Every structure is written in structure tokens, then in C-alpha cells.
Amino acid sequence: MARTSDILARSHDTGLDRPEVPELARAVGVTEGFASDRTTLGNDVISLVNVQKRFGDRTVLKEINLNLKKGEFIALLGASGSGKTTLLRILSSLEVATTGSLEVAQNRSVVFQEPRLLPFRRVRSNVLLGLSKTDRNRVDVGAALAEVGLADHINAWPKSLSGGEAQRIALARALVRAPDLLLLDEPFAALDALTRIKMQNLVLKLWEQHKPGVLFITHDVEEAIVLADRVLVLKQGELAVDIELKADRPRDRSSAEFRDIRKILLNHLGVSEDYEFSKG
Ligand SMILES: Nc1ncnc2c1ncn2[C@@H]1O[C@H](COP(=O)(O)OP(=O)(O)O)[C@@H](O)[C@H]1O
Ligand SMILES: [Mg+2]
């Protein structure tokens, strides 16, 4: 698999920076139609049965069973190296499962930790990247940018954007395709705490307006509880926990329920909140 940087370099050198270039579009997470057919998906946008992934003799995903319904918001937690990105890459057809059965809605968008904007294209062109000519004429980039609060940045160059702004453009690019499934891989991990809270609110607003199915990968327990309908924990290659969250949004981080769930999830992640003052 070519790395994004290779693809960007290559497309720069050769002029192959057309949206039709599948590798390029795939590198920024916007290509459609690589997963299996969706005819048997019914009310789901993800259906995984006994999915396993090995790298050589190392089994990263042992047995993954997961159904994500249309319009449902699932947060997936897991320690670093637990296989979260591997799972997301399988769902977005950047990686192939070793065994198991996998069905994923074809119309899906991915947002990565880094915004993956092409530096030699303006914001407008970055949002339209990977779309067919017909779709490019149909979609309203201005409206998508307005939704993420950046309507006046349509002609900006990526290098003029802050980290939070760049990630908002990545969200606009994902949403302009009206995906049935939105996959996000620690999208706010590189942002400062305040920007991060704003981005969480933005994601909730966009989800409530468009209602794609969402798989939001994070290692931040609070982020998962603030956002999701269900929180899963990936542990030793399996989905060890599946907690349904019923509290209305916006959720109160100081409520007893929030703290209880936080504690349970932290325990599953092998982190204890208890701490003793040193007696020395
Ligand atoms: N292409 C690959 N070849 C070999 N090992 C890999 C590859 N991709 C990921 N891994 C390994 O799989 C494990 C899970 O990685 P990853 O899915 O990135 O974890 P996470 O996103 O949860 O931090 C890690 O040990 C990583 O080194
Ligand atoms: Mg990862």
C-alpha cells in the first residue's frame, strides 16, 4: 500500500492530481465502492462476522463481530496498538481482513487524525476531491463549508489554516458526499483541549443534521461518552465491552452516571483512577 506522502509526491510530480486517480482519493479517505455489496445489509451500515486480521504470525484482530445501524453513533475505544486503526482500515478497504465476513455501506467517508488536505489545492478543490464531474457540479461546497463554520475560507490554501480549521475542512469533505457511514480515526487527537471540545460539539451537530452511521475511534474515554450511543472497547483483538448510553445530549460530564461509566471504561482500558498520596 502506497503511503499518502508517496501518492501526494507522485501526483505532484506527474500532474496526476485529478480526482479520478483512485489511489489519491483513497489516501484522503474519500473513495467509494471498494467494499462488498450492500444489498444484504438491511438496516445496518456495518456488518462484521468473525473478522480476523493477522500480520504474519501476529493476530491483531482475533474475532470481531459488529453491527452498526443506520444513523447510529458508536465510539470505539482501545489502548494504543490494540488494532483500532487496523479495523478502520479494513472497513475503508485500505486493508484486507484475513478471514471473516464483512459488509460495509459503499457510500462512506473517512476522517483521519491528520486532515490530509492536498497542499497544492485550495479549500474548495480539497472538499471536492475524488468526486465525479457530475457530483462536483451537484454538491454545494459553500453550504458544506458554512456548516463547519468556514464559508469564507473557500479559496484559502491549506497552509493558511489552523489545525482545527483544517480538520473542519476534512469534515466538510466527508459530509459533502452525504455518506451513509462516517468513519473517524482519532480525528481530534492532535488538537488542543478547547478546540477539541468545539469539534466534538460540531460533530454532534453535523451528525444530528445528517444522521450518517458513525464509527468514531478515540482513546479518550470522555470523548466517547460525550458523543456516542454505544461505546465499545477493543481489547486483545476482541470487542470486550459494549455499553449503551441513553442520556440526552449534551451530556453532563459531572453527572454521577457519566463518572460511573467513565470508571468502568477506564478499568477495561487498564487504567485506575484511584490514587494514593505518598506517605513519605
Ligand atoms: N501493515 C502492518 N504490518 C504489520 N503490523 C502492523 C501493520 N499495521 C498495523 N500493525 C500492527 O498492528 C497493531 C495494531 O496497530 P493499530 O491498528 O495501528 O493500533 P491502534 O490504532 O489501536 O493504535 C500494532 O502492533 C501494529 O504494529
Ligand atoms: Mg490508530
Domain assignments of the chain as residue spans, ordered by start: 14-268
pLDDT digits (tens, 9 = 90+) for 3-57: 444 433 333 333 334 444 456 666 666 654 444 444 578 899 999 999 999 999 9
Mean pLDDT of 195-200: 96
| Residue 92 near residue 32, CB atoms below 8 Å | no
pLDDT of residue 16: 35
pLDDT of residue 245: 97
Closest CA to 44 of 97, 108, 120: 108
CATH architecture entry for 14-268: 3-Layer(aba) Sandwich (3.40)
CB of 55 within 6 A of ligand 1: the answer is yes
Query: Which of the listed residues 51, 55, 233, 235 should we mutate to test ligand 1's pocket, taking the one with most ligand atoms within 8 A of CB?
Result: 55
Mean pLDDT taken over the chain: 88
Is 12 or 75 the better-scoring residue by pLDDT?
75
CB of 82 within 6 A of ligand 1: the answer is yes
- Lowest mean pLDDT of 9-18, 57-66, 112-121, 173-182, name the range: 9-18
Instruction: Provide the whole-model pTM.
Output: 0.88
Pick the ligand that lies closest to the CA of residue 78: 1
Categorize the per-residue pLDDT at 152 as very low, low, confident or very high, splitting at 50, 70 and 90: very high
Residue 272 has pLDDT above 90, yes or no: no
